[in-house]
């Protein structure tokens, strides 16, 4: 049976087996060993070894029964038990970018993310983070989605649905904007690239391609036509032998590959994003690495954006949160009509009950998403800042507690840890 499981490891559809009641100090190691033996695709140990999720191929539906005794014997002589989630319900098949083989060859740690199998790190998150802050790093962001709209009326259509004012940009310019719902909640944050008077390319979050396409039903989903690499850092443009102004774009040859070169990114550093044909992505990636640019994973991408307080959809912003609460009112042209604008006008006039703030820990502790804030609200993003070497985070607090220097108390695994609200961004280059 184990041999057959190994043969099926390449199948990306998998299932979840939940091992519960696992409180023995050495049990986590035995779960890992069992997962390896079964050819598991992934393993997540939660809490202090109390729960574990083992991902195994869907095709082995018998594992839900055959493993029961084996898990008992593997976990401290049967003091735990196995439960199967809904007769081993299948999980979404993971997709791969055109650079998957490159990531695997470099020994990247690959994880599921928004339905894709993506590199979270190659060496270490801290090293990759610092490479971007001090020199240059490259990220595969081909999982991002692209929606296209061109033809008569394209500008008017998007102007009536996106929050920012597209009249402020011309051909060759890009704009950060929001897609909002009737309540003013943030369905997605995205970048609109204006290619002409009635010609737009929208780059949207990977997990939101389908809902964005449904909301903007006149657009065309062209995600399969694009690969996207982000080269970021103070030396990024020099390493590529090019230059680009922030929030502008053009078509150009970069390292002998035809690209859409955009002065955008998600790290707070200068650099660019390179959109190209999926077939050209591997050669472009290789050429970038040959210039001494460091390959970076999603882990560093997350800590970099957190240091400069760029919100992450699904954590800091969501359909339940408005731009006014999230501090993104600057991306909303409230003098024009778009979905949810009336709700946002009312909220701006009355003031929100809660606001998204940045904070720094005053005690040695690392905040994480979901941790409660004693004064009200909770942490939405948290990590250790590789540049400042302190715990940092974003979180919603009562509006009256949102001013910089306001003290907060974060519940870090049952212990109250002191923090203080700071002005955004948390990290500024002059502090390094």
| pLDDT tens-digit readout, 266-285 | 999 999 999 999 999 999 99
Please state the rounded mean pLDDT for residues 178-198.
Answer: 98
- Cβ atoms within 10 Å, residue 253: 10
Class of domain 353-432: mainly beta
Rounded to whole angstroms, what are the CA distances from 323 to 51, 134, 316, 348, 357? 36, 32, 11, 10, 13
Provide the pLDDT for residue 93.
75
- Give the side-chain half-sphere CA count within 13 A for 67: 29
**Reported confidence tier of residue 224, pLDDT bands at 50, 70, 90:** very high
Q: Say if residue 213's pLDDT is above 70.
A: yes
Write out pLDDT tens, residues 101-125.
999 999 999 999 999 999 999 999 9
Provide the pLDDT for residue 227.
98
Q: Say if residue 357's pLDDT is above 60.
A: yes
How far the first Cα of the chain sits from its last, in Å, is 55
Q: Say if residue 35's pLDDT is above 90.
A: no
Provide the pLDDT for residue 431.
47
Write out pLDDT tens, residues 164-180.
999 999 999 999 999 99
224 DSSP 8-state letter: G
* CATH dotted code for 100-304: 3.30.1360.120
**Reported confidence tier of residue 429, pLDDT bands at 50, 70, 90:** confident
d(CA 322, CA 344): 7
Q: Is 414 exposed, middle or buried (0-12, 13-18, 19+ CB in 10 A)?
A: exposed
Please state the rounded mean pLDDT for residues 42-62.
Answer: 39
Q: How many residues does the chain have?
A: 432
Give me the helices (H) in 43-193, please.
63-74, 100-105, 125-134, 154-159
**Reported confidence tier of residue 411, pLDDT bands at 50, 70, 90:** very high
């Amino acid at each position: 049976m184990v041999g057959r499981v190994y043969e099926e490891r390449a199948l990306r559809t998998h299932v979840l087996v939940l091992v519960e009641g696992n409180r023995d100090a050495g049990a986590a190691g035995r779960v890992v060993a069992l997962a390896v033996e079964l050819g598991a695709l992934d393993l997540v140990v939660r809490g202090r070894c109390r729960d574990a999720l083992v991902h195994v191929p869907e095709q082995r539906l018998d594992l839900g029964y055959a493993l029961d005794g084996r898990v008992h014997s593997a976990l401290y002589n049967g003091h735990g038990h196995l439960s199967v989630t809904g007769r081993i319900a299948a999980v979404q098949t993971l997709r791969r970018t055109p650079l998957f083989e490159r990531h695997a060859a470099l020994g990247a740690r690959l994880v599921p993310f928004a339905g894709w199998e993506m590199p979270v790190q190659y060496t270490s998150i801290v090293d990759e983070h610092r490479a971007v802050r001090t020199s240059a790093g490259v990220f595969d962001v081909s999982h991002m989605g692209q929606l296209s709209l061109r033809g008569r009326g394209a500008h008017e259509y998007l102007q009536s649905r996106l929050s920012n004012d597209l009249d402020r940009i011309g051909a060759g310019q890009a704009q950060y904007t929001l897609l909002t719902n009737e309540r003013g909640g943030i369905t997605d944050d995205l970048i609109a690239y204006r290619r002409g008077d009635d010609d737009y390319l929208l780059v949207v979050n990977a997990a939101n391609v389908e809902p964005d396409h449904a909301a903007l039903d006149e657009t065309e989903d062209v995600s399969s036509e694009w690969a996207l690499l982000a080269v970021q850092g103070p030396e990024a443009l020099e390493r590529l032998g090019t230059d680009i102004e922030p929030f502008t774009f053009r078509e150009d040859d970069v390292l002998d590959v035809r690209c859409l070169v955009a002065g955008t990114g998600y790290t707070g550093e200068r650099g660019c994003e390179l959109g190209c044909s999926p077939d050209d992505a591997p050669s472009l990636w290789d050429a970038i690495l040959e210039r001494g640019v460091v390959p970076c994973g999603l882990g560093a991408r997350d800590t970099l954006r957190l240091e400069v307080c760029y919100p992450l959809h699904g954590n800091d912003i969501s359909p339940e949160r408005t731009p006014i609460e999230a501090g993104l009112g600057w991306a909303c042209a409230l003098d024009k009509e778009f979905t949810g604008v009336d709700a946002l006008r009312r909220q701006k006039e009355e003031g929100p009950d809660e606001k998204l703030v940045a904070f720094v820990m005053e005690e040695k502790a690392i905040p994480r998403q979901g941790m409660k804030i004693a004064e009200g609200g909770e942490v939405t993003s948290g990590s250790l800042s590789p540049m400042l070497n302190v715990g940092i985070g974003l979180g919603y607090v009562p509006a009256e507690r949102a001013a910089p220097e306001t003290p907060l108390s974060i519940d870090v695994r049952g212990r109250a840890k002191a923090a203080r609200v700071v002005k955004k961004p948390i990290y500024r280059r002059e502090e390094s």
